[in-house]
Amino acid sequence: MTRSVRVDRAVARFGVMALVMLMWTLPTSAHNLGFTALAVPLDSITIDGDLSDWPKDLPAYQLGAVLKGYANYDSSDPSPEDLTSWFHVAWNPEQSRLYIAVIVIDSETILGSTPSSTDAIELYVDGRHGDDDPQQYLMFPGDATYRLFGTSTNPTLSGGDAVAAGALGEHRAVGDTSFYELSLQLGPEALRKGERISFDVVAVDMDSDAIAATWLSWSPQGGKVSNSSRTGDVWLLGSPGVLREMSRVRGRVAIPGGSGWRGMVVRLRDADGRSWAAAISDAEGYFEVIGRPGAFVLEVEDAEPPVRRELELIAGEPVEITLDVLGRSGHQLPMWPLAVCLGLLSLAALGALIPLRGRLDLLGGVLVAPIRTFERLGQRPEWTAPAAMVLLSATLASVASINQYPGQLWGALLGSPGGLAAVLLTSVPLLMLLALVVYQFGLWLAWSFALWVAAWLAGGRGRFFDVVSVAGYASVPAVLGLCVASLHTTFGAGGEVLTSSATGLGALTDDSTWKPLLGRVEVFSLWSWALGALSLPSVMALSKRRALLAGTICWFVVLGLVWVYHGAMQALSVAMMEQFS
């Protein structure tokens, strides 16, 4: 009897081992070179945010890739106390459901209404394992909603109905730890034993003292919503025994005798060089990968010099290892094009200062004695100094824009030939300078035309280019505001190029229409508008009362146009969301 039991166990063990070897040798197409999560089959899981009914020995997959270089997200590495996250995954063959449990440790919970202003998790799933757009599910730690989707369901399905899709989800918070539990209905054609599906998990963390949220993903690369090839994989195991016959490799990537390396990709490759598993080291340098029995090579990407260790994995036996890494390499863009570009912009800024030297009395007079200065300009119109101010402010704004380039541009340049990258690094800021100069000159002329028409309707008469002269000098405060804001942005103001210092009028109301309109009213712009009205009597033969009336009417007309534009854009956004959903 004992011998029969031993034989049965040996046969069962051999069968599981054979299944492991067979499934690992099936031809598959792994996304992201081996970021593979193993999903064991389970009976029905209760979706209530309580993970006590999940098996205790399931692998935990750490989220370690911080999205860097994207203006809308914070590129800095969060501390473990501020953000740590991992997930488990399983599946139910009978119900064709994928179970996901995501754990997030976060020191502060923030609920917002945009992808980069709220705490959330994002799931990317494509049961076809192709290169199409995956389904994007989102879940929040409370009553938050993306304005982009216009739905109040939690979880939310981008571009669809999560309820109709059969998605279930619950969130539970215990102290600073959030538990997200989800069940997704994918269908029997997607969930089959031995198959892979495209899959990824992202934890989004916003803090009250942060400008933008941190986007922490399981596998590297952003833009997962637009291409399944940028996600990892879930491999659907046929039985829990398959997992038990594999080997877990736990280790640390560290400076010899020192601290660990964060964010380094560790890959497990077979003798043919194929990547079977991959992980990203955490804040202390720790990682875990799982492989089948056999000969493998463990390597650390971007290690300098290269680090590779040969391993012999044995079924069911864990491996502990430390990988000593002396330095870190990586893709770097050439810096000389940026230096050349900054040099050219500096020369342009210095050149703009030359014509300003002889007109400091006019520039200062506009600020301290505007009426007397406008009377001088009415007798002798002058356009050189305002044009130089336009060039100076556009140059500083171009320098500020270099600090705020979107990460998509840098990512594209990393994959470009060296010559093309150098050309783009040099030409893009110069083209931006040209665009800003054209834009500001156009704005100057448009404002002059508006003042001229308003004064003409009020009974004044005068030459248009005389109005251009005084309007140019009246715009000195606004141009100075742009210069100050550009310098503020250059030295780390945030994710967008500021144009002036806001008055704070947007805080006076919560109305969705008036709030952004009042937020556009700025200190320096108000100053310039007032000076523009004061300049009209000297060139349009108007009384001060009529000039102030014309300037005020012109100002409200422009605000009305801004309000109409904002309302039209808001209506268009709502219409597009309705059509999209």
Supply the CATH number for residue 96's domain: 2.60.40.1190
Helices and strands counted in the chain (H then E): 13, 22
Q: Are residues 426 and 287 in the same domain?
A: no
Q: Are residues 292 and 232 in the same domain?
A: no
| CA–CA separation, 401 and 386 (whole Å) | 22
Predicted confidence band at 510 (pLDDT cuts at 50, 70, 90)? low
DSSP code at position 532: H
42-46-51-53 Cα dihedral, nearest 10 degrees: -50
Give me 188's structure tokens.
Answer: 């029997």
| CA–CA separation, 399 and 485 (whole Å) | 12
Q: Are residues 435 and 567 in the same domain?
A: yes
3-state secondary structure of 253: strand
Q: Are residues 114 and 19 in the same domain?
A: yes
Q: String of b and e for 211-239 (b: at least 16 CB within 10 Å)?
A: bbbbbbbbbbbbebbebbbbbbbbbbbbe
Domain for residue 106, yes or no? yes
Query: Cα 417–423–426 angle (5° rounding)?
Result: 135
Domain interval for residue 382? 336-580
Q: Are residues 92 and 158 in the same domain?
A: yes
Q: Amino acid letter at 138?
A: L
Q: Are residues 319 and 363 in the same domain?
A: no
Domain for residue 363, yes or no? yes
Q: String of b and e for 132-161 (b: at least 16 CB within 10 Å)?
A: eebbbbbbbbeebbbebbebeebbbbbebe
CA 338 distance to own-chain centroid? 23
Give me 184's structure tokens.
Answer: 């997704």
| Mean pLDDT, rounded, of the chain | 80
Q: Are residues 108 and 218 in the same domain?
A: yes
Average pLDDT over residues 565-575: 70
3-state secondary structure of 106: strand
Q: Would you say the pTM of this structure is higher than 0.75?
A: no
Domain for residue 329, yes or no? no
Q: Is 61 a residue whose pLDDT tops 80?
A: yes
Q: Are residues 276 and 399 in the same domain?
A: no
CA 394 distance to own-chain centroid? 26
Q: Determine the angle formed by the axes of helices 418-457 and 464-474, rounding to 10 degrees.
A: 120
Which pLDDT tens digit goes with each residue over 154-167? 898 888 888 889 99
Q: What is the pLDDT of residue 8?
A: 47
Q: Are residues 306 and 445 in the same domain?
A: no
Domain for residue 331, yes or no? no
Domain containing 310 — which CATH number? 2.60.40.10
Per-range mean pLDDT, top range of 287-296, 329-338, 368-377: 287-296
Predicted confidence band at 506 (pLDDT cuts at 50, 70, 90)? very low
Domain end call among 265, 298, 323: 323
Poorest-pLDDT segment among 199-208, 382-391, 492-501 = 492-501
Name the domain count of the chain: 3
Q: Is 565 a residue whose pLDDT tops 80?
A: no
Query: Cα 399–401–407 angle (5° rounding)?
Result: 130
Poorest-pLDDT segment among 74-88, 321-335, 527-541 = 321-335
Q: What is the pLDDT of residue 15?
A: 46
Q: Are residues 317 and 347 in the same domain?
A: no
Q: Are residues 300 and 411 in the same domain?
A: no
Domain end call among 323, 353, 368: 323
Q: What is the pLDDT of residue 458?
A: 85
Domain for residue 527, yes or no? yes
Per-range mean pLDDT, top range of 84-93, 182-191, 267-276: 84-93
The residue behind tokens 């390499």 is 329
Q: Is 486 a residue whose pLDDT tops 50?
A: yes
Contact 235, 91 (CB under 8 A): no
Q: What is the pLDDT of residue 218?
A: 95
How many Cβ atoms sit within 10 Å of the Cβ of residue 198?
28
| CA–CA separation, 544 and 62 (whole Å) | 69
Which pLDDT tens digit goes with each residue over 390-447? 888 888 777 777 655 544 455 445 444 445 656 666 777 788 888 888 988 888 888 8
Alpha-helical runs (H) found in 200-262 = 240-244
Which pLDDT tens digit goes with each residue over 269-291? 988 888 889 999 999 999 999 99
Picking from 322, 140, 300, 115, the residue whose alpha carbon sits closest to that of residue 225 is 115
Domain for residue 328, yes or no? no
Alpha-helical runs (H) found in 315-417 = 336-357, 360-368, 370-379, 384-402, 407-414
Q: Is 558 a residue whose pLDDT tops 80?
A: no
Predicted confidence band at 493 (pLDDT cuts at 50, 70, 90)? very low
Could you please report the per-residue DSSP string of 30-42?
A: -GGGT-EEEEEE-
DSSP code at position 315: T
Domain end call among 245, 280, 299: 245
Q: Are residues 534 and 555 in the same domain?
A: yes
Domain for residue 408, yes or no? yes
Which pLDDT tens digit goes with each residue over 234-263? 999 989 888 888 999 999 999 998 889 999
Domain for residue 415, yes or no? yes
Q: Which helix (H) or strand (E) holds 455?
A: helix 418-457
DSSP code at position 132: S
